[in-house]
Copies of this chain bind each other. A is one copy, B any other.
Amino acid sequence: MRSTMMDAPLQVSRILEHGATVHGAAEVVTWTGAEPRRSTYADVGRDAARLAHALRAECGVTGDERVATFMWNNTEHLVAYFAVPSMGAVLHTLNIRLFPDQVTYIANHAEDRVVLVDATLIPLLAKSLGGMTSVRHVVVVGGGDPAPLLAAAGDRIAVHHWDALLADRPEVYDWPEVDERDAAALCYTSGTTGNPKGVAYSHRSIYLHSLQICMPEGFGLGPTDRELAIVPMFHAMSWGLPFAAFLSGASLVMPDRFLQAAPIAEMIAAERPTLAGAVPTIWTDLLAYLDSHDVDTSSLTEVIVGGSACPPSLMHAFDERHGIDVIHAWGMTEMSPLGSVSRPPAGASGDEAWRYRYTQGRVPAGVRARVVGPAGEPLPADGTSVGELEVRGPWITARYVGDDAPDPEKFRDGWLRTGDVGTLSADGYLTLTDRAKDVIKSGGEWISSVELENALMAHPAVLEACVVGVPDQRWDERPLATVVLREGASATPEELRDFLAGSVARWQLPERWAFVEAVPKTSVGKFDKKVVRSRYADGDLNVRELATP
Binding site for B on A (CB under 8 A): 1-10, 14-15, 17-18, 21-26, 64, 66, 90, 181-184, 198-202, 204-205, 208, 211-212, 214-217, 220-224, 247-249, 251, 343, 345-346, 362-365, 368, 381, 392-401, 414, 416, 426-428
Q: Which of A25, A26, A216, A217 has the most CB of B within 10 A?
A: A216
Kindly list chain B residues whose C-beta atoms are within 8 Å of the C-beta of A221.
Answer: 216
29 residue pairs from A and B, CB less than 8 Å apart: A1-B90, A1-B200, A2-B182, A3-B201, A3-B205, A4-B183, A4-B200, A4-B399, A4-B401, A5-B202, A5-B204, A5-B398, A6-B396, A6-B416, A7-B181, A7-B398, A8-B368, A9-B394, A10-B208, A18-B364, A18-B365, A21-B427, A23-B427, A216-B222, A216-B248, A217-B248, A223-B343, A224-B346, A251-B346
Given contacts A22-B428, A248-B215, A427-B21, whether A395 and B5 have CB atoms under 8 Å apart is yes
Query: Which 6 residue pairs are nearest across A and B when measured between Cβ atoms?
Result: A216-B222, A22-B428, A3-B202, A18-B365, A1-B64, A1-B183
Q: Which of A22, A217, A251, A396 has the most CB of B within 10 A?
A: A22
Least distance between A327 CB and chain B CB atoms (Å)? 13
Closest to A27 in B: B346
A interface majority secondary structure:
loop
- A6 CB contact (under 8 Å) in B183, B215, B217, B393: B393
Q: Which of A3, A215, A220, A394 has the most CB of B within 10 A?
A: A3
User: Contact between B217 and A223 (Cβ–Cβ < 8 Å)?
Assistant: yes
> CA of A205 to CA of B399 in the docked complex: distance in angstroms?
27
Least distance between A31 CB and chain B CB atoms (Å)? 21
> CA of A9 to CA of B24 in the docked complex: distance in angstroms?
32
- A182 CB contact (under 8 Å) in B3, B23, B223, B396: B3
Least distance between A139 CB and chain B CB atoms (Å)? 21
Least distance between A275 CB and chain B CB atoms (Å)? 12
User: Contact between B397 and A6 (Cβ–Cβ < 8 Å)?
Assistant: yes
Copies per complex?
2
Kindly list chain B residues whose C-beta atoms are within 8 Å of the C-beta of A216.
Answer: 214, 216, 220-223, 248
Given contacts A3-B200, A22-B427, A182-B2, whether A223 and B346 have CB atoms under 8 Å apart is yes
Kindly list chain B residues whose C-beta atoms are within 8 Å of the C-beta of A7.
Answer: 181, 398
Kindly list chain B residues whose C-beta atoms are within 8 Å of the C-beta of A394.
Answer: 5-6, 8-10
> CA of A18 to CA of B369 in the docked complex: distance in angstroms?
11
> CA of A3 to CA of B182 in the docked complex: distance in angstroms?
5
Q: Could you list 19 further interchain pairs (A-B, Cβ under 8 angstroms) beyond the known A1-B183, A215-B248?
A: A1-B200, A4-B397, A5-B181, A5-B202, A5-B395, A5-B396, A6-B397, A6-B414, A6-B416, A8-B368, A8-B393, A8-B394, A18-B364, A23-B427, A24-B426, A25-B346, A211-B211, A211-B215, A223-B343
Given contacts A8-B392, A215-B215, whether A183 and B224 have CB atoms under 8 Å apart is no
> CA of A426 to CA of B23 in the docked complex: distance in angstroms?
9
> CA of A181 to CA of B204 in the docked complex: distance in angstroms?
14
> CA of A247 to CA of B211 in the docked complex: distance in angstroms?
12
Kindly list chain B residues whose C-beta atoms are within 8 Å of the C-beta of A396.
Answer: 5-6, 8
Kindly list chain B residues whose C-beta atoms are within 8 Å of the C-beta of A201.
Answer: 3, 5
User: Contact between B249 and A217 (Cβ–Cβ < 8 Å)?
Assistant: yes
Least distance between A416 CB and chain B CB atoms (Å)? 8
Kindly list chain B residues whose C-beta atoms are within 8 Å of the C-beta of A183.
Answer: 1-4
Closest to A211 in B: B211
Least distance between A23 CB and chain B CB atoms (Å)? 8
User: Contact between B21 and A426 (Cβ–Cβ < 8 Å)?
Assistant: yes
User: Contact between B3 and A249 (Cβ–Cβ < 8 Å)?
Assistant: no
User: Contact between A3 and B247 (Cβ–Cβ < 8 Å)?
Assistant: no
Q: Which of A9, A10, A182, A184 has the most CB of B within 10 A?
A: A10
Closest to A14 in B: B365
- A345 CB contact (under 8 Å) in B25, B364, B401, B427: B25
Least distance between A312 CB and chain B CB atoms (Å)? 22
Kindly list chain B residues whose C-beta atoms are within 8 Å of the C-beta of A399.
Answer: 4
Q: Which of A208, A399, A400 has the most CB of B within 10 A?
A: A208
Least distance between A504 CB and chain B CB atoms (Å)? 31
Kindly list chain B residues whose C-beta atoms are within 8 Å of the C-beta of A3.
Answer: 181-184, 200-202, 204-205
- A222 CB contact (under 8 Å) in B181, B217, B368: B217
- A22 CB contact (under 8 Å) in B248, B363, B397, B400: B363
> CA of A343 to CA of B182 in the docked complex: distance in angstroms?
34
> CA of A426 to CA of B8 in the docked complex: distance in angstroms?
22
> CA of A7 to CA of B220 in the docked complex: distance in angstroms?
26
Least distance between A85 CB and chain B CB atoms (Å)? 11
> CA of A66 to CA of B1 in the docked complex: distance in angstroms?
9
User: Contact between A1 and B222 (Cβ–Cβ < 8 Å)?
Assistant: no
Least distance between A431 CB and chain B CB atoms (Å)? 15
> CA of A212 to CA of B18 in the docked complex: distance in angstroms?
14
Kindly list chain B residues whose C-beta atoms are within 8 Å of the C-beta of A343.
Answer: 223
> CA of A223 to CA of B222 in the docked complex: distance in angstroms?
17
